[in-house]
């Protein structure tokens, strides 16, 4: 047994001086840290520098929001819920409410927001005494010093662009997609016109139905449409779908 151990680890003078190596490496580190500050940050007293687009809690610019509900559907933790609140004129509008107890600070709501009303903010100290206080309403989500850097843009390079020899990034490319209506199935109920947050849907008379009466079908204004899919969700007959353009 002893022979095996000695064969495996033969005694050498160099190995007997093994104490010198850790002594050298520690004194090297000490001489560095004696001059410069240690990497530790005294958190409550001093804070780390944050970039402008730091993804802290979501912030909302109330007036820019159109209440389209894209953030609600994009949220991976489903912490956003659209609630009805009065705006400055007293009209009831739909605005997102965020449950920060579940929010993962991923920033997808800000990334997918078509109007850039949802932003990220550098706030991250959000502890509350009660769980109910973690439900942040649309007015509370407002962040005073919102800068353009806090907007998150959805940038993507499309495969179709690469195929066409134009490998440049596009910002929000899916907002140019079009809703298309299947006129044969449409019953002209005007639901899409009611739910459209930007007023991009107008109902016009076109043709007649089986009973020979004039029929209303939606027409989409591509300038106003932000491709929020509210009409697709709202349609009772499932006759609207989104058609990819790019």
Specify the DSSP element, H or E, that contains 205.
strand 201-208
**Span interacting with another protein, options 2-10, 26-34, 88-96, 147-155, rule CB under 8 A:** 26-34
Contacts to another protein from residues 76-135, by CB under 8 A: none
25 counts as binding another protein under rule CB under 8 A: yes
Q: What is the smallest separation between the CB atom of 170 and another protein, expressed in angstroms?
A: 45
Torsion over CA of 72, 78, 79 and 82, rounded to 10 degrees?
30
By CB under 8 A, is residue 1 in contact with another protein? no
Size of the site for another protein (CB under 8 A): 14
Question: Which stretch, 30-38, 54-62, 114-122, 193-201, contacts another protein (CB under 8 A)?
Answer: 30-38
Q: Does 14 bind another protein (CB under 8 A)?
A: no
What's the Cα-to-Cα distance from 177 to each of 78, 99, 120, 202, rounded to whole Å? Answer: 25, 31, 26, 18
Instruction: State both tokens at 208.
Output: 């007649």
Write down the least CB distance from residue 45 to another protein, Å: 10
42 binds another protein (CB under 8 A): yes
Using the rule CB under 8 A, is 44 a contact of another protein?
Answer: no
Which listed residue (40, 91, 168, 171) binds another protein by CB under 8 A? 40
Binding of residue 19 to another protein (CB under 8 A): yes
Q: Is 13 in the site for another protein (CB under 8 A)?
A: no
d(CA 85, CA 210): 42
27 touches another protein by CB under 8 A: yes
Is 30 a residue that touches another protein (CB under 8 A)?
yes
Which residues, in sequence order, are bridge partners of residue 203?
A: 218
Of the pair 19, 204, the CB lying nearest another protein is at 19
Rama region for 78: left / alpha / beta (φ>0; ψ in -120 to 50; rest): left
Instruction: Give the other-Cβ count within 10 Å of 127's Cβ.
Output: 7
Nearer CB in complex with another protein: 32/81: 32
Least distance in Å: CB of 118 to another protein? Answer: 39
Angle at 115 between CA 114 and CA 117, to 5 degrees: 115
Contact by Cβ (8 Å): 242, 179: yes
Bridge partners of residue 118, in order along the sequence: 60
What's the CA gap between 140 and 18, in Å, rounded?
Answer: 62
Q: Is residue 6 a contact residue for another protein (CB under 8 A)?
A: no
User: Which CB atom, from 25 or from 157, has the smaller least distance to another protein?
Assistant: 25
Main-chain phi, psi angles of 132, to 5 degrees: -65, -25
Query: Which residue lies nearer to another protein by CB, 27 or 50?
Result: 27
Residue holding tokens 């998150």? 152
Site for another protein, rule CB under 8 A: 19, 22-23, 25-27, 29-30, 33-34, 38-40, 42
């Amino acid at each position: 047994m002893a022979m095996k151990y000695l064969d495996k680890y033969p005694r050498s003078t160099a190995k007997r001086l093994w104490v010198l190596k850790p002594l050298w490496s520690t004194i090297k580190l000490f001489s560095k840290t004696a001059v410069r500050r240690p990497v530790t940050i005294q958190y409550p007293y001093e804070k780390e520098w944050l970039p402008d687009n730091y993804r802290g809690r979501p912030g909302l610019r109330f007036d820019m929001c159109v209440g389209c509900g894209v953030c609600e559907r994009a949220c991976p933790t489903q912490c956003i819920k659209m609630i009805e609140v009065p705006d400055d004129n007293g009209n009831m509008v739909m605005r997102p409410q965020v449950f920060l107890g579940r929010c993962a600070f991923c920033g997808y709501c800000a990334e997918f927001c078509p109007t850039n009303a949802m932003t990220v903010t550098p706030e991250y100290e959000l502890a509350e005494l009660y769980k109910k206080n973690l439900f942040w309403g649309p007015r509370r989500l407002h962040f005073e010093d919102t800068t353009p850097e806090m907007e998150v843009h959805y940038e993507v390079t499309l495969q179709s662009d690469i195929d066409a020899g134009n490998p440049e990034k596009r910002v929000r490319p899916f907002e140019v997609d079009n809703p298309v209506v299947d006129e044969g199935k449409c019953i002209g109920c005007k639901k899409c016109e009611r739910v459209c947050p930007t007023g991009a849907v107008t109902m016009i008379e076109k043709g007649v139905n089986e009973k020979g009466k004039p029929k209303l079908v939606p027409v989409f204004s591509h300038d106003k449409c932000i491709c929020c899919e509210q009409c697709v969700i709202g349609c009772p007959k499932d006759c609207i779908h989104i058609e990819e353009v790019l």
